[in-house]
Structure 1
Amino acid sequence: MFSRTQWRRVVQSLNRCHSIAFSKRYLLYTNLGISISLSMVGDTIEQSYERYVGEIDGWNRMRTFRMGIGGFTVGFVCHFWYQYLDYRYPTRSIGTVMRKILLDQVICSPFYITVFFITMGLLERQSWEEFQAEVMEKAVVLYMAEWTVWPAAQFINFFLIKPRYRVFYDNSMSLGYDIYTSKVKYRKKPSLESPEA
């Protein structure tokens, strides 16, 4: 059992870590670490489900690693995008929040989905034709899913959450979306071959 003094020391240590991690000096690193970690967790959860239903045989570590790098690029974009929005629109009025949501959906969402597919295409050494085909098939699916989830989530983010916690909140909310992104990215095309007679 911890004594009251030991609990106080633990809480003080956690507060110190929190203050450092979310300080201006280290916020980018914190946001990138969160984005990488949760992208990898999302892919691991999706692969666990795919193994459970028999779609894959084992855990593809390279796939999870690539999703983590995808999380890095998306986290980088989100970090600076939120800083720009908060600088350009510093108030928390309903009108300002709605403007931020619209800009986020119309500008940032397509941009970071594109950055994600470019990152994955480079890591997977896709040809230009393969990249184009994948974006045409899958990016629209992800973008439409964004419109079902993020306007409400971003209302909370822009209206209630302090700016330094925006990417943390975004990533916490997006764990389910990261699972879905992994599913869409790695879903197999249905076979065009006719079954044997």
Structure 2
Amino acid sequence: MALEFCCPRRARCYSSKKVDRRDVASPVEREGADLAAQVSGFGGSDGQFSFEGFSSASSSCIDGESIERQLESGRLIDRTINAMIVLGAGTYAITKLLTIDHNYWHGWTLFEILRYAPQHNWSAYEEALKKNPVLAKMMISGIVYSLGDWIAQCYEGKPLFEYDRTRMFRSGLVGFTLHGSLSHYYYQFCEELFPFQDWWVVPAKVAFDQTLWAATWNSIYFTVLGFLRLESPASIFSELTATFWPMLTAGWKLWPFAHLITYGVIPVEQRLLWVDCVELIWVTILSTYSNEKSEARLSEAAVEASSSSLPSSPEE
């Protein structure tokens, strides 16, 4: 009886101890399994440690530094090229102006060279107007429009040698190919349109210049620059309609006073040179305004593109 009584009891005791051991061991085993899973997260199938996460992060940092170095190298090359263009063009221009009489310098003093240089440069300019007036005026307008755009970029806050060469080339190309030649024929047409010597002729020419001719030239300038920037016709037309009236009225703050001298004092063949000198101010305004509108339009297009690319939230 005792044996029969004790055996079940011992069995119950043994079974209860096994249950307790399982209850105690199971949290330990789970902790060990979690630790093994964490360790295996850093390693491969063999349980060895791996540094893939660290290597990817370090490689991304290296790639970022490499890209930054490449960008800085590109900016340095651009600044060097821009400096060479500015210094080269300036040196060439000053040399040509000062050495106009180099064939006659024998025995001249420095004072005599500087004294006669302006007079003889003017004589050379008049001779060029007689030989090929259109080409001479095209050259002047191309130089003025390039210089004006460079001044505009410096006025916008860009460093002296970090200007946009492509933008300056576009403006100079428009000045060379269109402004010089069209202005040459326009001033001749204006003289034939008003062949009188009365007092009202000069105000009439100024009014005609600041309405029909100014509107025509501003439209040509903005349209051609838009095509050179590879913009769509719709975008060019939108820019033209947005800037037409503001630019026309902005010109009235400067040009009517300048054109009182243009049509009242300056001879016909010399008018473009005088106008181009004033254009250094006007091209700065014109180029700045054109590029501000273009950059604003591009930023708006980028915002619209990014907003349209965002996925719409699903309806609940």
- Distance in structure 2 (CA, Å) of the matches to 1:169 and 1:12: 17
Q: Which amino acid aligns with 2:125?
A: H
Give the C-alpha shift of residue 141 in structure 1. 2.0
- Distance in structure 2 (CA, Å) of the matches to 1:79 and 1:139: 24
Aligned length: 189
Give the C-alpha shift of residue 13 in structure 1. 4.5
- Deviation digits for residues 134-179 of structure 1 (CA, Å, limit 9, x no counterpart): 1122232211111111111111100100111111111111211110
Computing the radius of gyration over CA atoms, which structure comes out larger, 1 or 2? Answer: 2
Q: How does 1:118-197 map to 2 (within 5 A)?
A: 118-187=223-292, 188-189=295-296
Give the C-alpha shift of residue 4 in structure 1. 8.9
1:22 aligns to 2:129 (yes or no): yes
1:37 pairs, out of 123, 130, 143, with: 143
Indicate how the Cα distance of structure 1 residues 44 and 110 shifts in structure 2: closer, same or farther if over 3 A, else same.
same
- Distance in structure 2 (CA, Å) of the matches to 1:91 and 1:4: 47
Indicate how the Cα distance of structure 1 residues 160 and 5 shifts in structure 2: closer, same or farther if over 3 A, else same.
same
Q: Is the CA contact 2:223–2:240 (under 8 Å) kept in the aligned structure 1? A: no
- Distance in structure 1 (CA, Å) of the matches to 2:111 and 2:258: 39
Q: Is the CA contact 1:51–1:58 (under 8 Å) kept in the aligned structure 2? A: no
- Distance in structure 2 (CA, Å) of the matches to 1:115 and 1:77: 11
Q: Which amino acid aligns with 1:17?
A: A
Percent identical residues = 23
Give the C-alpha shift of residue 19 in structure 1. 2.7
Give the C-alpha shift of residue 16 in structure 1. 4.1
Q: Is the CA contact 2:144–2:276 (under 8 Å) kept in the aligned structure 1? A: yes
Q: Which amino acid aligns with 2:182?
A: V
1:60 aligns to 2:164 (yes or no): yes
What is the DSSP-based 3-state SS (H/G/I as helix, E as strand, rest coil) of the residue aligned with 1:51? coil
Give me the TM-score of the superposition, normalised by structure 2.
0.54
Q: Which amino acid aligns with 2:124?
A: C
Structure possessing the higher relative contact order (Cα contacts under 8 Å, 6 or more residues apart): 1
Give me the TM-score of the superposition, normalised by structure 1.
0.84
- Distance in structure 2 (CA, Å) of the matches to 1:115 and 1:184: 15
- Distance in structure 2 (CA, Å) of the matches to 1:158 and 1:88: 13
Structure 2 alignment gaps of length 5 or more: 1-106, 304-316
Q: Which amino acid aligns with 2:139?
A: G
- Deviation digits for residues 7-45 of structure 1 (CA, Å, limit 9, x no counterpart): 48757753541331232x322112111111111111101
Structure 1 alignment gaps of length 5 or more: none
- Distance in structure 2 (CA, Å) of the matches to 1:183 and 1:9: 38
Could you say which residue in structure 1 is the equivalent of 2:96? Answer: none
Indicate how the Cα distance of structure 1 residues 168 and 9 shifts in structure 2: closer, same or farther if over 3 A, else same.
closer
